[in-house]
């Protein structure tokens, strides 16, 4: 069973639909016991980092997530919350990935970065069957910096981490559930881990 963490940050329908298309068994839950018992965990989300972090703290889920040993995948705001801190609302986040989340501030860049963009420098089983330069779907104004945990990059004025991995924790700044066949392949790879 896959636990999809519910902390009132949206995106649950599109993630549920994607898991349903893959034939996966999942449960949307905020129950720590159900999350700990799951074979895999998804932390999706859209919204503002400091508010989303506050909701995780209110539900007592920060330490639950940090303690997980099964594969965990953060999506969009989910991966940002797994970083050390975010400039958005000056949020102190979970610190699973030793990365900062920064706002796009270059002149002539449309923010939010919205639409399809390519991923490069792929280095993880998460990307098995994915080619360098394949396209994924983004909607974001902030992104994790590039660093030791980066397993894929995208360029939008500057390079940023399209995906991160440390131990059993994975995260994608893009939305695999909205990224057509490429995203479906990435989700399928995660479900096999």
Which is catalytic among the residues 99, 113, 140, 175? 175
Query: pLDDT band at 10, cuts 50/70/90?
Result: confident
165 is a catalytic site residue: no
**Cα end-to-end distance, the chain, whole Å:** 13
pLDDT of residue 85 exceeding 80, the answer is yes
Distance of CA 190 to the CA centre of its chain: 12
54 is a catalytic site residue: no
pLDDT over 70 for what percent of the chain? Answer: 100
Q: Over the stretch 111-120, which tens digit does the pLDDT of each residue have? A: 999 999 999 9
Please return the burial class of 129, using the count of CB atoms within 10 Å of its CB with bins 0-12, 13-18 and 19+: exposed
Which is catalytic among the residues 88, 99, 113, 177? 177
**Farthest CA pair distance, the chain:** 47
pLDDT of residue 174 exceeding 80, the answer is yes
Tell me the domains of the chain and their CATH numbers: 2-192 (3.40.50.880)
Mean pLDDT of 66-82: 98
CA dihedral 26, 18, 150, 74 (to 10 degrees): -40
Which is catalytic among the residues 76, 93, 165, 185? 76
């Amino acid at each position: 069973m896959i636990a999809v963490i519910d902390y009132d940050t949206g995106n649950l329908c599109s993630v549920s639909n994607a898991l349903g298309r893959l034939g996966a068994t999942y449960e949307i839950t905020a129950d720590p016991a159900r999350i700990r018992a799951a074979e895999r965990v998804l932390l999706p989300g859209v919204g503002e980092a400091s508010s989303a972090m506050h909701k995780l703290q209110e539900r007592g889920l920060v330490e639950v997530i940090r303690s997980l040993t099964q594969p965990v995948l953060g999506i969009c705001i989910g991966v940002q919350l797994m970083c050390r801190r975010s400039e958005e609302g000056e949020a102190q986040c979970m610190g699973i990935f030793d990365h900062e989340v920064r706002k796009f501030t270059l002149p002539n860049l449309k923010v939010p970065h919205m639409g399809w963009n390519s991923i490069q420098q792929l280095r993880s089983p998460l990307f098995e069957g994915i080619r360098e330069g394949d396209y994924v779907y983004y909607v974001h104004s902030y992104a994790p910096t590039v660093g030791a945990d980066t397993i894929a990059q995208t360029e939008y004025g500057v390079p940023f981490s399209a995906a991160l991995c440390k131990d059993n924790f994975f995260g994608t700044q893009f939305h695999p559930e909205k990224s057509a066949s490429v995203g479906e392949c990435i989700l399928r790879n995660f479900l096999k881990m």
